[in-house]
Amino acid sequence: MKSILPRSRTVLSFIVGWAILIFLFILTATQFNLAEIAALGLNIPFTDRLATTAGDLVAGVPLIAAIFGVGFLIAMPITSIIARWVKILPHATYALGGFASVAVTLFTLKTLVAITPIGAARDIDGFIALCLSGAVAGYVYSTLKARGQN
């Protein structure tokens, strides 16, 4: 009888992918926000960029991890089904699943609170950059999961 619980390698792969998603998401959002401030004519030294990024990582991890972790948790099993069905380029399929998880989560947040709460996602460049953090996370998840199966 086949177990419905995921293997420990799959769980570990998910956790690593999720951590990468959160790190890249916060890093990207912070840098886009700082770029908007710099566009106003303010000089932001590199040390301030590092300090702001570190502060955002510490302060933002719990909330961002919870919100985008749910999206990633929903997307990866669905992507697994799609990858088994398509059977070509599974890593690209998981990357697209990660991309879609961030996009759907951002659209859901906008729908729930009537504005885009993540400032970086308010323009298309920032939106795509944030979604690419999900694509990297999906790719990492797929790669680590595949290593455990061989």
Confidence of residue 6 (pLDDT cuts 50, 70, 90): low
Mean pLDDT is lowest, of 8-17, 102-111, 140-149, for: 140-149
Residue 5, pLDDT above cutoff 70: no
pLDDT number for residue 9: 80
Residue 18 has pLDDT above 60, yes or no: yes
Contact 98, 20 (CB under 8 A): no
**Concatenated DSSP letters of 63-121:** HHHHHHHHHHHHHHHHHHHHHHHH-S-HHHHHHHHHHHHHHHHHHHHHHHHSS-SSGGG
Model pTM above 0.85: yes
- Report which of 120, 139, 75 is spatially closest to residue 102, judged by C-alpha positions: 75
Res 149: pLDDT: 62
Categorize the per-residue pLDDT at 10 as very low, low, confident or very high, splitting at 50, 70 and 90: confident
Give residue-wise pLDDT tens across range 126-138. 999 999 999 999 9
Average pLDDT of 75-79? 93
Summary mean pLDDT of the chain: 91
